[in-house]
Structure 1
Amino acid sequence: MTRVRVHTGEINADMEDTSLADLPSFMSNNSCGWIDIFQPEEESTREFLDSQMNFHHLAVDDCFEEPASRVFVYDTHKFTTFKARDADRELDTEYLRAFLRDGWLITVRHAHMPGIAEFRKRIKSKDFKKSGELKSEYLLYQLLDSVADDWTKVLIRKSERLDEIEDQVFDPHHVYPNLLENLHEMKGDLREIAKSTTPLDEVVQRMLRSDEGFITEETKLYYRDLADLTHSIGTRVENYSSGAASTRDTYISQTSMRLAESQAEAAEVMRLLTIIATIMLPITAVASIFGMNVESFGAGNGPIDLTIILGVMAVIGFTMLLWLYVKGYIGKQR
């Protein structure tokens, strides 16, 4: 069901619930303000935006389709759409559409957004510009700034998490589980953030272009400040992503070094066992020969002569050498 709420910028005033049918009379009695259309029903909302507000049909279509982040200046109004964070999950995003006309900011959205909640707090505060100074371009600036501040809070949490993972990677006293998975998850989260913050920065930069004619001279200073903020957000995302990649490479190098050290220890053990076996081999041969129950060296009285046993051993040894040579394990390699 479509929910329509209106705020005219009065200090500490809550947003008023109204309906699409009552909006024209409400707008005629007030010169400026913010209209928020939440979860719009397509038929009635499209009729209001298209027929009563005379918004361009392409902009109206974007309210009910998956648009791209963009900025348009039409003859009687302006339109922009950009991604804002969804309140359901930390990195879920939804498109927020905004129309600017005659001092009014009209937003159309399909989900709860923390940026909208922050903007609602701002427009009620005493520090917000009031009365004749309350223009639609300034309202949009505050809305965009609220969305950007929301992304900044997310980045602060990601920065703290990245610092925690880095401390775990470089901790020489403990081995922490799932570090590689955590670093991959961090890289994925930063990539998702960039998918929204980069287009947001591009939208703001385009608004500042003089040939667009989107903002007025009196609000240009605010949008320049906003452009610095959105650009810094993009830079922070890139820096955090590079830091996560560097930490991941360091962790992989440390793991490879630990594996190489373990293999070296195993090789040293095998070398020691080989030395022991080499020393014991002649001793075992002498003990085996002199321990046989055959008549030799003046000892034993068995039925089999020592010469026969040695001959059988020699035949077995020669057969094994021949088999290894045929297989290519010794001698000329195939």
Structure 2
Amino acid sequence: MKKPRLHRRKKHIFNKIDLTSNTQSDATNAAGEPLLPPKISKIIYDANDMQQCELSFADLAMFKPDADKKLWLNIHGVHDVDLIKKIGDIFHLHPLVVEDILNTEQRPKIDEFDDYIFLETRLFYYHQDSMSASSEQISMVLGHNFLLTFQERSTGAFEPIRERLRASRAQIRELGVDYLAYALLDSVVDRYFSVLEDVGEASEALEETLLLHPTNAELHSIHQLKHVSIELRRAVWPLREVINSLTRNEKGFFQPATMPYLRDVYDHTVNFIESLESIRDSLSGMMDIYMASVSQRVNLEVRALTVVAMLFMPATLIAGIFGMNFHEMPWLAEKNGFWWAIGLMATIALMMILIFWRRQWLSSKT
């Protein structure tokens, strides 16, 4: 086999992942969820038949791919190092590919070899209650007659694809495993649109609340949605380049009948990026609305304090004048001088209130 073309560094990072040990330092995955036992699902099919079964680690010792039928091997739980290494030995995967499968924090990428194509993407899930999103890494190895997929957890995200395989006379069974790889990529992109739709609905509801009565809770929600949009952007931009590389089909792993579908997925990815940028702009606008609302509330409070202070300024001035320590001052000897002073203070205050009212300073709507 010729030297593979790799689109990244070629240095092993065995200090991060030990390929000779099955021990796990953590009992949870990257999303903080408990690790589940690995599960291997095998589907072999052709245009006339489809068989599905579960494999154990012991079954892999005598497992041999059937060259006459198409194979889809899906592995849930990539934390089992021995299992992934065993599958790598069976299908002659490059050690760097095995390493990348085990490292579940990779960005979407593609590596092309003579005998197979290796690509990675991320599958997103939106959590409406917390306005957050989680993701799992999906690794695919596409050969001439087999497809390997590796997932962190068993979520049923690809169950619709299995249902299509179970249907007799389905197009997905008549075409090769390259079409199956397209179908899986298409489901990943569809999941992105589903998450984006949820984010869009949440942002619309949030915008209505902001216009009525913005609070710190809305500010937190804006930050949550912006974080989701950033995570989506980090995943989709490199995925677009991955799919674009697949559409060039330099190694010939995709049949001509599959190429229009791949280009359609690429178009969907471009449309998704445009929609995502629109929502990101909307969230930035909502942040501006929130800051403007907070600034307006502060201005109203300062104006209220200013009005109160101005009402007391004439009274303070009058009291200060008549409180000066002089023996001879007008009106000090008046019998009703105190009430005249109070009346003068009240009259000036009423005149100022009238002026404030005419200028609409006493209304919170201006």
For normalisation by structure 1, the TM-score amounts to 0.74
- Residue 81 of structure 1 is matched in structure 2 by 120
Contact 2:109 2:239 (C-alpha < 8 Å) held by counterparts: no
| Secondary structure in 1 matching 2:149 | strand
Q: How does 1:135-214 map to 2 (within 5 A)?
A: 135-171=176-212, 174=213, 176-211=215-250, 213-214=252-253
Instruction: Report the counterpart of residue 42 of structure 2 in structure 1.
Output: 6
- The CA RMSD measured in Å over matched residues stands at 3.2
Query: 1: distance between equivalents of 2:242 and 2:155?
Result: 19
Count of aligned pairs: 287
In structure 2, runs of 5+ residues without a counterpart are: 1-36, 334-366
After the TM superposition, which of the residue ranges 235-244 and 201-210 deviates more from structure 2? 201-210
Cα–Cα, structure 1 residues 153 and 128, in superposed 2: closer, same or farther, change >3 Å?
farther
Distance 2:266 2:312 in 1: 69
The answer for the alignment partner of 1:311 in structure 2 is none
Q: Deviations over 1:48-99 (max 9, x none)?
A: 322x322333223322234442222222222212222369996222222111
**Farther off after superposition, 191-200 or 60-69:** 60-69
Point out the structure with max Rg over C-alpha.
Answer: 1
Deviation digits for residues 32-63 of structure 1, max 9, x if unmatched? 1311122253224313322x322333223322
| Residue 59 in structure 1 maps to residue 97 in structure 2 | yes
2:82 partner SS: helix
Say if 1:194 and 1:234, in contact at 8 Å, map to a contact too: yes
Task: Give the corresponding residue for 2:134.
Answer: 92
Deviation for aligned residue 1:12: 11
AA paired with 2:184?
L
Task: Structure 1 unaligned segments of length 5 or more: list them.
Answer: 292-296, 298-334
TM-superposed CA distance for 1:106, in Å, is 1.1
Give 1:272's match in structure 2, choosing from 311, 318, 323.
Answer: 311
Please state which structure has a larger fraction of its residues in helix: 1
Q: For 1:143 and 1:249, how far apart are their aligned partners in 2?
A: 39
Letter in 1 for 2:196: L
Supply the distance in 2 between the matched residues of 1:271 and 1:126 (Cα, whole angstroms). 85
CA distance in structure 2 between the partners assigned to 1:190 and 1:114 by the alignment? 24
Which SS does the other structure have where 1:7 is aligned?
strand
Q: Residues of 2 paired with 1:195 and 1:113: CA distance?
A: 22
Verify the 8 A CA contact 2:45 2:69 in the aligned structure 1. no
Tell me the CA shift for residue 213 of structure 1.
4.5
Matched, 1:115 2:157: yes
Partner AA of 2:194 in structure 1? K
* Normalised TM-score (structure 2): 0.68
**Alpha-carbon distance between aligned partners in 2 of 1:148 and 1:236, rounded to the nearest angstrom:** 13
